[in-house]
Chain A
Amino acid sequence: MLKKEDIAKRIAEELQDGWYVNLGIGIPTLVANYIPKGVDVTLQSENGLLGMGPFPTEENIDADLINAGKQTITTMPGSVFFDSSDSFAMIRAGKVQLTVLGAMEVDQNGDIANWKIPGKMVKGMGGAMDLVASAENIIVAMMHTNRAGESKILKKCSLPLTGVNCVTKVVTNLAVLEVKDGAFHLLERAPGVTVGEIQNATDGELIIAGEVPEMKL
């Protein structure tokens, strides 16, 4: 079973040289720590920055420089600031090649739910609906099951949706899944996890073709 850092590490392998990438809050943020050597990616923060750098040192903190998670950050050489409407212009126009975000549920249609639990949690969608409706590659980083052990990889999402038919890949603590043609395709297993265990933890249709390799981390 993968730790959160390992999920981030596995997702980082999907990054391609030259890509502009938007990382959501939580596990997706950790992906920035594992960008492979020689792969030049530019991180987009939807509050208005291309070229996000690491957290600042105490003496370099700037209240005017934060990321979309409202954390203090720094910029990389060659970075650029812009306003929110330009930020979402580049997102909607598909200039940001990859979005990585968390989810409460995903389903085999590629639908995702991650912004609302009716009557319980109503914080808003932020930029998630714009991001999932736009990027060509949407990778979801999440736990395969909830705390009660119930699958979050579903036939049909039960929570209010963030977007439809948009998720391309899911990386969980158990597996790497590709979403296409109305099903989850099992690409890789987490080290030490069996196909049977993944099958048991998956509610949606799972396609298993031949030997499923173990993830290399």
Chain B
Amino acid sequence: MKKVVKDVEEALEGIESGMTLMLGGFGLCGIPEKCIEALSKKPEITNLTCISNNAGVDEFGLGLLLKNRQIKKMISSYVGENAEFERQMLSGELEVELTPQGTLAEKCRAGGAGIPAFFTPAGYGTEVAEGKESREYNGKMYILEESLVSDYSIVKAWKGDTKGNLVFKATARNFNPAMAMAGTITIAEVEHLVEPGELDPNEIHTPGIFVHRIFEGKDYEKRIEQKTISQ
């Protein structure tokens, strides 16, 4: 089966209003910026549930979809960098499920690993635990968290081959591998698309079995949120 698609338009085929998307990235680092930008140019796609650690900034990343009111619900761990997000959340226009970051990562990993739920200590005794089963193991309390899967997972990698194998760079890896696993259909946008055999099998992070569509994006902006420099 051919996984390579010719462009971002073909990659996004089939995404419809009301679907659940996972989007990789931490802050603006490692986000699938080409796919997000293309989705923002399809304002007819609305009522999306987006699972992403953060919600972008006002003019970049998921902030573009928020501005268009394409998102109905966000499942995230930290959303502090986006004024429009905060406005929509406080006014009740946007539904938000704040989830501890490790729990969010494990919900994706477990979902992609065929495990429907798991116990974690994170959030025990807090409002995150409300309505969830808790249980003691070896003298410590844990809460039951259900895993997540998506209709489409959209991830960004540094390099990929036409078989869908992916290699990530530095901390741009973050949520991308776990979300790639949890997609019913997983779309990977990569900076460098190469032929099979060009990636060392020892150094592949995400096996191509988890990736259904792949394309090479051009001219990545890779916006930096907090530029900090040593003097």
Contact = CB atoms under 8 A, between A and B. Distances in A.
Report whether chain A binds chain B.
Answer: yes
A204 interface: no
A159 to B, nearest CB: 11
B10 to A, nearest CB: 26
A66 B173 contact: no
A161 interface: yes
B29 A64 contact: yes
B126 A48 contact: no
B122 interface: yes
B184 interface: no
B79 A123 contact: yes
A145 interface: no
Interface in A32-59: 45-49, 54-58
B121 A133 contact: yes
A92 interface: yes
Interface stretch (A83-91, A148-156, A171-179, A208-216): A83-91
Interface string A117-147: 0010011111111100110000000000000
B36 interface: no
Interface string A52-76: 0011111001111111111111000
Given A62-B170, A72-B227, A163-B126, A88 B102 contact: yes
Contacts, number: 175
A69 B79 CA distance: 12
B77 A83 contact: no
Contact of B53 (A69, A84, A161): A84
Contacts of B81: 70
A160 to B, nearest CB: 5
B26 A55 contact: no
Interface residues of B, number: 57
A195 interface: no
B30 interface: yes
A162 interface: yes
B98 A83 contact: no
Given A125-B100, A129-B100, A160-B126, A47 B76 contact: no
Nearest to A123: B80
Nearest to B169: A64
A164 B102 contact: no
Contact of B100 (A61, A62, A70, A130): A130
Given A49-B171, A133-B122, A57 B100 contact: no
B91 interface: no
Contact of A125 (B78, B90, B227, B230): B78
B157 to A, nearest CB: 11
A70 B121 contact: no
Contact of A64 (B30, B226, B229): B30
A161 B123 CA distance: 9
B161 interface: no
A115 B104 CA distance: 16
A19 interface: no
B224 A63 contact: yes
B105 interface: yes
A61 B129 CA distance: 40
Return the 3 tightest CB-CB contacts between A and B, nearest first. A88-B102, A123-B80, A130-B102
Interface of B: 26-30, 53, 76-81, 86, 89-90, 96, 98, 100-106, 108-109, 120-128, 158, 168-178, 205, 222-230
Interface of A: 45-49, 54-58, 61-73, 81-85, 87-89, 91-92, 111, 119, 122-130, 133-134, 160-165
27 contacts: A45-B171, A47-B27, A48-B173, A49-B171, A56-B229, A56-B230, A64-B30, A65-B171, A66-B29, A67-B171, A68-B26, A70-B26, A70-B29, A72-B227, A82-B173, A85-B106, A85-B108, A92-B122, A119-B90, A122-B90, A123-B79, A124-B79, A124-B98, A129-B100, A129-B123, A133-B124, A164-B124
